[in-house]
Amino acid sequence: MRTGWGLPLYATFIGFLLLFPLAIVVAVSFDPGVYIRFPVTGFSPRWYVRMWADETIVLSIVNSLIVGFSSSLIGAIVAIPAALAVTHGGRFVKAAVYPFLLSPFAMPWLVYGLGILFFWGLTGLRLSLWTLIVGHTVLAIPYVLRVTLAVLRSMPPNLVRAARVAGASPWQAFRYVTLPYIRSGVTAGVSFALVVSLTNIPVSLFLTTADNITLPVAIFNYMINNFEPLVAAVSAVQVLMIGVIIYAARIVGGVDRA
């Protein structure tokens, strides 16, 4: 095979593009000064200490985790049966239900956020963590559905038959054969959905108040009024959370076993 400098150079360039902004944010978060600037002037954990003292930030982190995990798991509970239905179902499911569930991919999120705000207004429900969870669940469904479906389509149909004829009820066949088979796909989909929820601003912006504020919205609000390295510290924490989630998904999903 021909080896040259082209590919390694290209890969380094892309890696640099991906990691450079991240590195700057992390570096800035440890700056002792009161303005965001680069290069940094020293090293201090002061903004992290300030962050933990900030009630709004801490509340938003907790809220974001609650909303992220709830919406992605509820999304999975909706998406898994939907994926089974699309795989084994009739023309109506394939032609109508499937595109409908995928539509949040295509819809501008700002439009969707505004729409669901009007919707909650019509129902008369007060905005809360629950209304936010529902809003994010709609976003989560297509992620879990799409990845689960890809795995499900690669599953030999005889596996479920083999389970049934060996004595498994339809539920047992799903529980002991189908679910373990699609586990890696479901976990990947759930982790995507979780990351989407944890970073979402356009939809959350419409659905959050002081009580149910999420982390990205808190960062966004903060940046409008301040230019302190606190934002960088909060962002670094957000990146860390996402990193942990993706790593955990690899372990839970059993990437190597599937």
Task: Provide the binding-site residues for other proteins, judged by CB under 8 A.
Answer: 156, 158-159, 161-170, 172, 176-177, 180-181, 183, 254, 257-258
Which residue, 46 or 164, is less far from other proteins as judged by CB? 164
Is the CB of 153 or the CB of 161 nearer to other proteins? 161
**Distance of closest approach, residue 257 Cβ to other proteins, in angstroms:** 6
Cβ proximity to other proteins, 111 vs 179, nearer residue: 179
Q: What are residue 126's phi and psi, to 5 degrees?
A: -75, 145
Name the residue nearer to other proteins (CB basis): 186 or 230.
186
Reduce the secondary structure of 86-131 to three states and give it as a string: HHHCCHHHHHHHHHHHHHHHCCCHHHHHHHHHHHHHHHCCCCCHHH
Q: How far is the CB of 248 from other proteins (least distance, A)?
A: 19
Identity of the residue, 112 or 181, whose beta carbon is nearer to other proteins in the bound complex: 181
- Shortest spacing between CB 170 and other proteins, in angstroms: 8
Min separation Cβ 107 and other proteins, Å:
36
| Residue 244, burial from CB neighbour count under 10 angstroms (0-12, 13-18, 19+) | exposed
Tell me how far apart the alpha carbons of residues 1 and 6 are, in angstroms, rounded to a whole number.
14
Cα 191 from Cα 45, distance rounded (Å) = 30
Q: What is the DSSP track for 18-74?
A: HHHHHHHHHHHHT--SSS--SS------HHHHHHHH-HHHHHHHHHHHHHHHHHHHH
Distances, alpha carbon 180 to alpha carbons 12, 138, 140, 152, 183, in Å = 37, 25, 21, 11, 5
Can you read off the two tokens belonging to residue 212? 């149910």
Residue 89 dihedral angles phi and psi, to the nearest 5°: -85, 180
| Least distance CB 164 / other proteins (angstroms) | 4
Closest distance between other proteins and the C-beta of residue 154, in Å?
A: 11
Taking the complex as a whole, the smallest distance from the CB of residue 167 to other proteins amounts, in Å, to 4
Name the nearest CA neighbour of 79 among 62, 64, 63, 101.
101
Q: How many CA atoms lie within 13 A of 81 on its CB side?
A: 6
Looking at beta carbons only, is 6 or 90 nearer to other proteins? Answer: 90
CB-wise, 37 or 161, nearer to other proteins?
Answer: 161
